[in-house]
Amino acid sequence: MRQLSWRMVASAVVGLTVALEAVPWLLGWLQVGRQRRPRRDVLFFPSQVTCTEALLQAPGEAPAGPTGDCPCNLPHSESSLSHLLRALLAARVSLELCLFAFSNPQLGRAVRLLHQRGVRVRIITDCDYMALNGSQIGLLRKAGIQVWHDQDLGYMHHKFAIVDKKVLITGSLNWTTQAIQNNRENVLIMEDSEYVRLFLEEFERIWEEFNPAKYSFFPQKKQIC
Amino acid sequence: MRQLSWRMVASAVVGLTVALEAVPWLLGWLQVGRQRRPRRDVLFFPSQVTCTEALLQAPGEAPAGPTGDCPCNLPHSESSLSHLLRALLAARVSLELCLFAFSNPQLGRAVRLLHQRGVRVRIITDCDYMALNGSQIGLLRKAGIQVWHDQDLGYMHHKFAIVDKKVLITGSLNWTTQAIQNNRENVLIMEDSEYVRLFLEEFERIWEEFNPAKYSFFPQKKQIC
């Protein structure tokens, strides 16, 4: 009888061990634990003014200085602007931009660089702001990038970007040098499928609505019949 | 021997069962599974214009209409604005507001209501916008709410709120009726300890910096010595 109870205890221990061995597998199945943590950053502005040349060189461009670094006097450290540029330049397939104001030259260069690399860039903007001096919209259009705009009384006041349909970049920041260097601003960078889906739906809704075929200030010619 | 092996199997089954019983507890301990899902909403604007009277009645106020409902002709349905008001009115302890522009009367009433209920409200705003016609800032100060502002060349352009140090409300929306009713805007409502911590740190940083004792346009009297 004594031998029997030892065997029962041993069997119970074996059963317990087998079940506990299954726990990591179960957690893996529930996608908990070891997977790469999705990106969740916040950038606050004003940004320190730093040199961003190294990030923005087009393929085949000669290095700016003799050592390959830009020889300018600005600090060559990271800043909120450089983090924002890096998040955008990570795009490989697509970039949706929905921006009230876009006049910062570095961000303009980054977007043109992505277009040159074959990333599909689509831009929605506000018709009032895009006509102002210093807007990047003309240069972006000249480069062959599609830009559609509102013709509403209200403003197209969003300030978001979607990178490769995986990362949402959104916040209070208009893409102007004034805002980047002087204002208190925030930008969230979120690798989050739920938020990306909702903002992408909003983008597609507006994209469809702002289709230039619907612009009323280019009135269709009346058919002669 | 046959009896023995049955007992071993039975013991192993008991061990397995005990271990599997422990899995939900283990998952609970790892905060996976049955817990309430943290709030993660996105509101898009323009908002439908709806009646928000039912949300904004102060304690002891008579119901607006004979049936207790507001008798106005506006729809009494939910809207992006009513969702935003509900998220704010959920505050029980504290409300931090960091807002470029604040002129919407309904949002102003909601904040004053929270102050009346004993919620600790602190507001940071932009000195240029607060002086404009229609700003709620004067009414909020008159009600006894602390409002501190910048005196920078740049704008205090944030548009975020923190409810009970648990929920972050942030986006592109300035708290103006024009923006709510006419603009394309977004507001994220996130019950997220990491984002709340980062935005609360930004709030406290600015709050300290904008301390009225440091305002330079009230110059300290020179000491006679």
Q: What is the pLDDT of residue A66?
A: 60
Closest CA to A90 of A160, A191, A188: A191
Q: Write out chain B residues lying below 8 Å of A4, CB-based.
A: 4, 7
Please spell the DSSP secondary structure of A126-169, one letter per residue. -HHHHTSTT-SHHHHHHTT-EEEE--SSS-B--EEEEETTTEEE
Q: What does R_g of chain B's alpha carbons equal in angstroms?
A: 26
**Chain-wide mean pLDDT for chain A?**
87
| Cβ-nearest to A170 among B100, B158, B186 | B186
Catalytic residue, chosen from B157, B158, B165, B221, is B157
Residue B19 in tokens: 């271990």
The answer to the question of residue B64 being in a domain is: no
Mean pLDDT within A162-184: 98
Mean pLDDT within A122-130: 92
Q: Decide: helix, strand or coil at residue A116.
A: helix
The answer to the question of residue B184 being in a domain is: yes
Rounded CA-CA distance A87/B28 in Å is: 35
Calculate how close chain B gets to A60, using CA atoms only, in Å: 38
Q: What is the pLDDT of residue B222?
A: 45
Catalytic residue, chosen from B164, B165, B166, B222, is B164
| Cβ-nearest to B182 among A14, A153, A181 | A153
Residue in chain B lying closest to A23 (CA): B23
Q: What is the pLDDT of residue B145?
A: 98
The answer to the question of residue A31 being in a domain is: no
Closest CA to A122 of A139, A99, A103, A90: A99
**Torsion angle, alpha carbons of B168, B174, B175, B181, to 10:** -120
When comparing pLDDT for B117 and A13, which is higher? B117
Q: Write out chain A residues lying below 8 Å of B156, CB-based.
A: 183-184
Instruction: Count up the domains in chain B and report the number.
Output: 1
| Cβ-nearest to B183 among A7, A157, A195 | A157
The answer to the question of residue A203 being in a domain is: yes
Q: Write out chain A residues lying below 8 Å of B208, CB-based.
A: none
Q: What is the pLDDT of residue B67?
A: 61
Residue in chain A lying closest to B44 (CA): A202
% chain A with pLDDT above 90: 66
Contact A186 B170 (CB under 8 A): yes
Calculate how close chain B gets to A130, using CA atoms only, in Å: 16
* List of chain B residues with pLDDT < 50: 219-225
Contact A158 B185 (CB under 8 A): yes
The range of the structural domain enclosing residue B150 comes to: 40-55+74-212
Q: What is the pLDDT of residue A7?
A: 75
Rounded CA-CA distance B9/B13 in Å is: 6
Rounded CA-CA distance A56/A70 in Å is: 11
The answer to the question of residue B159 being in a domain is: yes
Contact B9 A9 (CB under 8 A): no
Calculate how close chain B gets to A109, using CA atoms only, in Å: 24
Contact A199 B186 (CB under 8 A): yes
Residue in chain A lying closest to B41 (CA): A195
Mutate to test the interface with A, among B186, B194, B204 (most CBs of A within 10 A): B186
Element (H, E) at A124: strand A120-125
Do β-strands B120-125 and B94-99 pair in parallel, antiparallel, or remain unpaired?
parallel
Residue A191 in tokens: 């690798």
When comparing pLDDT for B223 and A144, which is higher? A144
Contact A182 B152 (CB under 8 A): yes
Strands (E) in chain B, as ranges, are 40-45, 94-99, 120-125, 146-149, 159-163, 167-171, 185-191
Rounded CA-CA distance A111/A55 in Å is: 12
Give the Cβ contact number of residue B133 at 10 Å.
5
Record the pTM: 0.81
Length of chain A: 225
Rounded CA-CA distance A154/B184 in Å is: 7
Contact B155 A179 (CB under 8 A): yes
The answer to the question of residue A196 being in a domain is: yes
Q: What is the pLDDT of residue A62?
A: 61
The answer to the question of residue A32 being in a domain is: no
Mutate to test the interface with A, among B9, B184, B193 (most CBs of A within 10 A): B184
Cα–Cα separations (whole angstroms), residue B1 to A5, A7, A60, A136, A138:
14, 12, 81, 86, 89
Q: Write out chain B residues lying below 8 Å of A151, CB-based.
A: none
Task: Compute CA B121 distance to the chain's CA centroid, rounded to the nearest angstrom.
Answer: 11
Asked if pLDDT for residue A222 goes beyond 50, the answer is no
Contact A14 B13 (CB under 8 A): no
Q: What is the pLDDT of residue A114?
A: 98
When comparing pLDDT for A46 and A221, which is higher? A46
Contact B20 A19 (CB under 8 A): yes
Residues 6+ apart with CB under 8 A from B73: none
CATH number of the domain enclosing B162: 3.30.870.10
**Taking a C-beta distance cutoff of 8 angstroms, is the pair B184, B125 a contact?**
no
Q: Write out chain A residues lying below 8 Å of B179, CB-based.
A: 154-155, 157
Closest CA to A43 of A190, A182, A176, A157: A190
Contact B179 A157 (CB under 8 A): yes
Specify which residues A96 forms β-bridges with.
Answer: A122, A162
Calculate how close chain A gets to B49, using CA atoms only, in Å: 15
Tens digits of residue pLDDT in A52-99: 999 998 777 765 566 667 899 999 999 999 999 999 999 999 999 999
Residue A12 in tokens: 């119970």
Q: What is the pLDDT of residue A79?
A: 97
CA-CA-CA-CA torsion sign (A58, A62, A67, A70):
negative
Rounded CA-CA distance A101/A120 in Å is: 20
Q: What is the pLDDT of residue A224?
A: 43
Asked if pLDDT for residue A32 goes beyond 60, the answer is no
Contact A4 B7 (CB under 8 A): yes
ipTM for the whole complex: 0.81
Identify whether B164 is a catalytic site residue.
Answer: yes
Mean pLDDT within A197-209: 97
Q: What is the pLDDT of residue A83?
A: 98
When comparing pLDDT for B219 and A137, which is higher? A137
